[in-house]
Amino acid sequence: MNDLLPLIFLGLMAFAMLIYVVLDGYDLGVGILLRRAQDSEKDRMISSIGPFWDANETWLVLGVGILLVAFPVAHGIILGGLYLPVTFMLIGLILRGVAFDFRVKAHANHKHLWNKAFYGGSLLAAFSQGFMLGIYILGFEYTLSHTIFAIFIGLSLVAGYALLGACWLLLKTEGKLFRRAVRWAYGSLWLTGLGIAAVSIATPLVSTRIYQKWFALPELLWLLPIPALTAACFFVCERHLKKLSAGLHEKIWLPFTCAISLFVLAFIGLGYSLFPYLVVDKLRYDQAASAPEALFIMFIGVAITLPAILFYTAYSYRVFWGKATDLSYD
């Protein structure tokens, strides 16, 4: 059991971060799209994420918390190498949290400032996360070429979150805003695809070990379903968005499902590439793990906490499912 605990915590951390990217990804995406909406539509957009956005960030706290307590050595290296973008991400998350509440009570002549703050915070948080991913893959080296790559991944993740946000709005809105969301989703899809392709190409190139894991036989053959399914999800999403744009409003859940699938498949591919390292080719998860006695105590806590978070998340989505209405705190 003690030998399995580091692997269990690695899986729990990966699960928490994946859930965070998907759930907070769509509400960050709605914030990113806010600037492109008309004033009459912005309350409805905010309302669509109102019951969920704050709880979605719980998964980030859980993932980073597991990294801190279960893999403290890796936590020091990763957070040390990403100190500046992490700071900007936190500024963005704080800014959008403040703006979410203040925009509702603000006077009419100030409301547009809080809308801009919500948009700016969402954009900054999303871009910072993508930038961190780019620098993390390339081993925390801030050379010019690596920085340019990280900036591109940051922009691609912004597009990916915008895709999730637009597809979420398809589920939660109707009428003119629905039609706008279709156009936003279609425009975001292509840059998201470019970002996934860039990460997929760059990751094997930074490590001979990763290259061999993907392109040596017979591994290449049984890994082919990952890029094949990714391409299939991309083209199914693109084709269905065209149908929605043409007025065929059926299976409106399909683009959101495809968008989530793109992120899940990309996450699986990245996880396979990096495993068993937490720091690329430098530090394995078992080398970074806390003492088995400490992990066992933390495992008991996680066994209680994780089901509670899962239950609350599922329950909140069950209660607040359906089309969004205008946001009001009256």
Provide the pLDDT confidence category of residue 126 given band limits of 50, 70 and 90.
very high
- In this model, does residue 329 exceed pLDDT 60? no
How confident is the model over 45-61, as pLDDT tens digits?
Answer: 888 887 787 788 889 99
52 against 29, higher pLDDT: 29
- In this model, does residue 330 exceed pLDDT 60? no
- pLDDT of 251 reads 84
| Tokens found for residue 185 | 């989703």
Contact 280, 137 (CB under 8 A): yes
CA angle 52/55/58 to nearest 5° reads 150
- pLDDT of 2 reads 66
| Tokens found for residue 62 | 């859980």
The whole-chain average pLDDT of the chain stands at: 88
- pLDDT of 109 reads 76
- pLDDT of 149 reads 87
Total count of residues recorded for the chain: 330
How confident is the model over 12-21, as pLDDT tens digits?
Answer: 999 999 999 9
> What global pTM score does this model have?
0.92
Provide the pLDDT confidence category of residue 316 given band limits of 50, 70 and 90.
confident
| Selection from 201, 204, 116 nearest residue 156 by Cα | 201
- Give the C-alpha separation, 159 to 185, whole Å: 9
- pLDDT of 210 reads 83
Domain residue ranges in the chain: 5-319
Q: Report cis status (omega within 30 of 0) of the bond before 276.
A: yes
User: Helix/strand/coil (H, E, C) string of the chain?
Assistant: CCCCHHHHHHHHHHHHHHHHHHHHHHHHHHHHHHHHCCHHHHHHHHHHHCCCHHHHCHHHHHHHHHHHHHCHHHHHHHHHHCHHHHHHHHHHHHHHHHHHHHHHHCCHHHHHHHHHHHHHHHHHHHHHHHHHHHHHHCCCCCCHHHHHHHHHHHHHHHHHHHHHHHHHHHHHCCHHHHHHHHHHHHHHHHHHHHHHHHHHHHHHHCCHHHHHHHHCCCHHHHHCHHHHHHHHHHHHHHHHHHHHHCCCCCCCCHHHHHHHHHHHHHHHHHHHHHCCEEECCCEEHHHHCCCHHHHHHHHHHHHHHHHHHHHHHHHHHHHCCCCCCCCCCC
How confident is the model over 158-168, as pLDDT tens digits?
Answer: 999 999 999 99
201 against 268, higher pLDDT: 268
How confident is the model over 131-172, as pLDDT tens digits?
Answer: 999 899 888 888 888 888 899 889 999 999 999 999 999 988
- Give the C-alpha separation, 137 to 320, whole Å: 37
**Mean pLDDT value of segment 213-225:** 85
- pLDDT of 223 reads 87
**Mean pLDDT value of segment 58-74:** 91
- pLDDT of 244 reads 87
Provide the pLDDT confidence category of residue 217 given band limits of 50, 70 and 90.
confident
- pLDDT of 67 reads 92
- In this model, does residue 258 exceed pLDDT 90? yes
- pLDDT of 6 reads 92
